[in-house]
């Protein structure tokens, strides 16, 4: 109920001050370091995964006051993690998805094209549309699996984020995904036998640290 009242007040304020609301769009890109809080019964070492492609975004801004605004938009992001196992084959697994992401957030601070400085936070909903899994033995790739809209990962991945945009127009963001990245219930049948390759995963929550230019290229 409190959230509903808050939204109603914001909408009422926006309606009464329509002429004062500043609207514009921005575009940007970033680099992402992603990591998994992995609970795997085989106890692998989880290695942070750095990616610089493909991360693009388009955001739509609604500055309802001089130092307060709302934004939403869409983007494409590349996230995943690496797990290294201490077995006889020195197995390494690399998981990656391209996600279509829709954020909803607010910002507090100084906006504009020159010397911006503000805090932002909000929530996002990601939909993984392309999945890739690679397997290495002794650092030699032995298999690769790619799928569109794969059942190997959970289709809807909500998250929360906080960050800062600095006067040099760069932004730093930390994002946490609430649901498991890997679908531990995924199964397939081969030669009459059913396999659950991720059944040993009790949790696989992603944390992503992004640095780049989220709110640049302002267009009214």
What is residue 49's predicted lDDT score, i.e. its pLDDT? 96
CA–CA distance, 117 with 27 (Å, rounded to integer) = 17
What is residue 42's predicted lDDT score, i.e. its pLDDT? 93
Question: Cβ distance 130 to 98 under 8 Å?
Answer: yes
What is residue 134's predicted lDDT score, i.e. its pLDDT? 97
What is residue 177's predicted lDDT score, i.e. its pLDDT? 98
What is residue 5's predicted lDDT score, i.e. its pLDDT? 43
The gap from C-alpha 40 to its chain's centroid, in whole angstroms, comes to 22
List the structure tokens of 32: 């992402």
H/E segment holding residue 6? helix 2-16
Predicted TM-score of the model (pTM): 0.85
pLDDT tens digits for 161-181?
A: 999 999 988 999 999 999 999
Query: What separation, in Å, do the N-terminal and C-terminal C-alpha atoms of the chain show?
Result: 35
pLDDT tens digits for 20-54?
A: 889 999 998 999 999 999 999 999 999 999 999 88
Domains of the chain: 2-219 (2.40.160)
pLDDT per residue of the chain (220 residues) written in tens, 0 to 9: 555 445 444 554 555 545 588 999 999 899 999 999 999 999 999 999 999 988 999 999 999 999 999 999 999 999 999 999 999 999 999 999 999 999 999 999 999 778 899 999 999 999 999 999 999 999 999 999 999 999 999 999 999 999 999 998 899 999 999 999 999 999 999 888 999 999 999 999 999 999 998 766 666 6
CA–CA distance, 35 with 105 (Å, rounded to integer) = 23
List the structure tokens of 87: 């077995």
Render 100-149 in DSSP notation, one character per residue.
EEEEEEEEEEE-SSSS-EEEEEEEEEEEEEEEEEEEEETTEEEEEEEEES
Residue identified by tokens 């797990």 is: 83
């Amino acid at each position: 109920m409190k959230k509903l009242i808050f939204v109603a007040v914001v909408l009422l304020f926006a309606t009464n001050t329509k002429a004062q609301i500043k609207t514009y769009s921005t575009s940007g890109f970033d680099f992402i370091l992603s990591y998994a809080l992995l609970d795997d019964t085989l106890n692998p070492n989880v290695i942070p995964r750095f990616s610089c492609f493909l991360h693009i975004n388009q955001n739509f801004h609604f500055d309802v006051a001089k130092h307060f605004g709302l934004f939403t938009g869409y983007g494409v992001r590349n996230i995943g993690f690496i797990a290294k196992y201490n077995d006889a084959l020195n197995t390494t697994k690399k998981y990656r998805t391209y996600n279509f992401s829709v954020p909803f957030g607010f910002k507090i601070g100084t906006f504009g094209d020159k010397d911006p400085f503000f805090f932002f936070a909000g929530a996002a909903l990601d939909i993984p549309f392309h999945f890739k899994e690679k397997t290495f033995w002794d650092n030699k790739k032995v298999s690769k699996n790619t799928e569109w809209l794969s059942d190997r990962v959970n289709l809807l991945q909500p998250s929360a984020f906080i960050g800062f945009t600095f006067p040099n127009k760069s932004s730093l963001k930390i994002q946490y995904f609430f649901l498991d990245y890997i679908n531990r219930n995924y199964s397939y049948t081969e030669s009459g036998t059913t396999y659950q390759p991720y059944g040993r995963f009790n949790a696989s929550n992603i944390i992503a640290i992004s640095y780049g230019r989220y709110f640049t290229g302002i267009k009214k």
